[in-house]
Amino acid sequence: MSIMDNYNHYLQCLGAVHDTLGSLRDNRIELVRASWHELSISVSDVSLSDEGQYTCSLFTMPVKTSKAFLTVLGVPEKPQISGFTSPVMEGERMQLTCKTSGSKPAADIRWFKNDKQIKDVKYLKEKDANRRTFTVSSTLDFRADRSDDGVVVSCRVDHESLNSTPQIARQVLEIHYTPSVKIISSSLWPEEGQSIVLTCESKGKPLPEPVLWTKDGGELPDPERMVVNGRDLRISFLNKTDNGTYRCEATNPIGQNSTEYVLIVHDVSNTLLPTTVIPSLTTATVTTTVALTTSTATSATAISTRGTVFFFVMA
């Protein structure tokens, strides 16, 4: 083929390209490069309607044709969590639904409590009205527990169009529950004449304020010595009449709870004076040979105390 023939084919190619671009009638499609061996176009603001087969023809003799299929991904919308009402009472069943639309192919949804993934969830995939993209939803069903209070529940959407950067929706749980109560004593062995502090630790939501102290089912019998300060009950100058069962009761709008502490006042301990043990002397008779100027054998008596041995040599 001569240079003139190649030039004519090139002009035919450009004409065909311009005819093709004109037939598309879309300002988003532009010619990037056109040469004897390459033809490039660009498509801006890509939409799902741009998906399909594209054909490139080089008008040589014979005509050369190449085809490519363009796949357009549908980016999922930011997920939304629905079904949460605040606050939730402990023991109530919760159903949280996470939904995202517009994904192609269908997006993947995962649930987390704080950073721990929840496995047992329901998953639903439906085609959108355009019949090209999908709406994906997932439902988390569980019974509210006090340990869930303050927990961050998150719905995570993964999709190949997000370039490893998932979209996440979060919901902080607020669980209301009845108080839990515990009494802590400042002394493990209370004695007469001493003081003791009983602390009522109460947890609940809303926080129970204040707490109620009673003794043996009634009011505290000696307010001068039995003083309540917040959650603490301080009893001064203990005596045997203070023996009994002390109850701490905590109440909030959800309910009430209580616990008991049995106080036993002991006699004052007798302090024993330290004693000194004097080791007794131990005597033993041994026979030994000692070097004397007379070079004769003699007997010796050894008296040993703790750690020391004395020898008395008899000539």
CATH code of residue 153: 2.60.40.10
**Rounded CA gap, 124 and 106, in Å?**
10
Q: Is residue 287 part of a domain?
A: no
Look at residues 244, 263, 282 and tell me which one is the last residue of a structural domain.
263
| Same-domain status, 136 and 62 | no
Cβ neighbours of 45 (radius 10 Å): 8
Q: Is residue 288 part of a domain?
A: no
Averaged pLDDT for residues 177-196:
96
Q: What SS3 state is found at 10? A: helix
**Rounded CA gap, 189 and 265, in Å?**
8
Cβ neighbours of 292 (radius 10 Å): 11
pLDDT (tens digit per residue) in 97-140: 999 999 999 999 999 999 899 988 989 999 999 989 999 999 99
Contact 191, 242 (CB under 8 A): no
- CA distances to 6, 14, 58 from 1, rounded to whole Å, are 7, 19, 15
Domain count, the chain: 3
Look at residues 20, 48, 73 and tell me which one is the last residue of a structural domain.
73
Question: For residue 39, what pLDDT is reported?
Answer: 78
Contact 176, 87 (CB under 8 A): yes
Q: Between 298 and 211, name the one with better pLDDT.
A: 211
| Same-domain status, 158 and 84 | yes
How many helices (H) and strands (E) are present in the chain, helices listed first?
A: 1, 23
Locate all alpha helices (DSSP H) within the chain, ordered by sequence. Answer: 3-24
| Same-domain status, 67 and 87 | no
Examine the pLDDT at 158 and tell me if it is beyond 90. Answer: yes
Nearest to 190 by CA among 235, 156, 127, 257: 235
Q: What SS3 state is found at 242? A: helix
Q: Between 25 and 214, name the one with better pLDDT.
A: 214
| Same-domain status, 26 and 49 | yes
Torsion sign, CA atoms 204, 94, 108, 78: negative
| Same-domain status, 69 and 87 | no
Examine the pLDDT at 274 and tell me if it is beyond 70. Answer: no
| Same-domain status, 94 and 160 | yes
Q: Between 145 and 276, name the one with better pLDDT.
A: 145
pLDDT (tens digit per residue) in 5-49: 544 554 444 444 444 554 556 888 888 887 777 778 888 999 898
Report field, pTM of the whole predicted structure over 0.85: no
Q: Is residue 298 part of a domain?
A: no
Q: Is residue 246 part of a domain?
A: yes
Q: Is residue 308 part of a domain?
A: no
| Same-domain status, 88 and 54 | no
| Parent domain of 141 | 80-173
| Same-domain status, 183 and 98 | no
**Rounded CA gap, 141 and 211, in Å?**
35
| Same-domain status, 253 and 192 | yes
- Measure CA 162 to chain center: 26
Look at residues 248, 263, 278 and tell me which one is the last residue of a structural domain.
263
| Same-domain status, 183 and 157 | no
Q: Between 164 and 284, name the one with better pLDDT.
A: 164
Contact 142, 153 (CB under 8 A): no
Residue 251's pLDDT band, with cuts at 50, 70 and 90, is very high
Amino acid letter at 284?
A: A
Q: Is residue 34 part of a domain?
A: yes
| Same-domain status, 169 and 199 | no
Question: For residue 55, what pLDDT is reported?
Answer: 86
Pairing of strands 152-158, 134-143: unpaired
Q: Between 9 and 68, name the one with better pLDDT.
A: 68
Nearest to 39 by CA among 22, 20, 52: 20
Examine the pLDDT at 163 and tell me if it is beyond 70. Answer: yes
Give 17's DSSP letter: H
Range in 176-185, 215-224, 261-270 with the lowest mean pLDDT: 261-270
Instruction: Match 């003081």 to its residue by tokens.
Output: 195
Nearest to 200 by CA among 253, 252, 257: 257
| Same-domain status, 120 and 148 | yes
Q: Is residue 127 part of a domain?
A: yes
Q: Is residue 169 part of a domain?
A: yes
**Rounded CA gap, 93 and 143, in Å?**
4
